[in-house]
Amino acid sequence: MYKLTFLGHDNASLSMFYEALHTIYKHNVSTSIVSIMEANKLLDEKIPFAVDGIPYAVCKHEEWIPEIDSEIILGTMVAKIKQKIFAFFNDNYSINHEQYTNLYHPTSVISKTNIIGTGVTIGPGAVIAPYAVLGNHVSVNRNATIGHHTTVCDFATLNPGCNIAGFCRIEEGVTIGMGANVIDGRRIGKNSTIGAGSLVTKDIPDNVVAYGVPAKIVRDK
């Protein structure tokens, strides 16, 4: 029986993760969800899953006892929430990057020449081209693509159907919106957000929101 513990969660991300787990392990998997919600909010939280039949338990972080035989992963793909949850469990439980596992959907295409960190999640139909580098806790959603020699730094999130061309650099905490495209050699600055459907033709600085065709900065974050 494969055991996996999610630290924190959001429902949309969990649905994708559970679908991947079922595809890989069928029902030979059990899971735990460790919540940092306030107790009253946790009681009201409804957690939908894409697949029935995978056992799970939800507990408050104060009651969590780490299991030696259980892998751990962040239960969300939202960039800023990933950063906060990681920091919380690092500060309170001394859980560092090396203690996380990766979760790849079996239909994703990952080159043997890729360098990939820990806590990385790759969704169905995603393609990672040769010599790409993915940092820790990078999320690549369904049908997203990362070009050759592109670097995607820690906690970045690529939403469904986005396309990052070759020789790009996606900095820490960046969010690339659904269906957005980034042409060759562009840099997206730390914690910036690219809106859905945008076309990035120029470098984007840190801490801004940009969207459009071509993408333009619309505000600071």
Domain ranges of the chain: 2-99, 103-220
As a whole number of Å, the end-to-end CA separation of the chain is 44
pLDDT at 34 over 60: yes
Question: Using an 8 Å Cβ cutoff, are 190 and 173 in contact?
Answer: yes
Of 60 and 199, the structure prediction assigns the larger pLDDT to: 199
Annotation marks residue 97 as catalytic: no
Claim: this prediction has a pTM higher than 0.85: yes
pLDDT at 38: 57
pLDDT at 37 over 80: no
pLDDT at 51 over 80: no
pLDDT at 36 over 70: yes
Average pLDDT score over residue span 197-205: 98
Alpha helices in the chain (DSSP H): 11-25, 39-44, 79-93
| Catalytic pick among 22, 105, 137, 149 | 149
SS3 91: helix
DSSP state of 62: G
* Amino acid making up residue 119: G
The rounded mean pLDDT for the chain is 92
Q: Give the architecture (CATH level 2) of 103-220.
A: 3 Solenoid (2.160)
Question: Using an 8 Å Cβ cutoff, are 192 and 221 in contact?
Answer: yes
Question: Using an 8 Å Cβ cutoff, are 85 and 8 in contact?
Answer: yes
Residue 214: asked if its preceding bond is cis (omega within 30°), the reply is yes
User: Please, is 198 exposed, middle or buried when counting C-beta atoms within 10 Å of its C-beta (0-12, 13-18, 19+)?
Assistant: buried
pLDDT in tens, 17-26: 999 999 999 8
- Tokens 């065709």 found at: 213
pLDDT at 221: 86
Average pLDDT score over residue span 111-116: 97
pLDDT at 41: 57
pLDDT at 85 over 60: yes
pLDDT at 47: 64
- Tokens 């972080």 found at: 61
pLDDT at 58 over 90: no
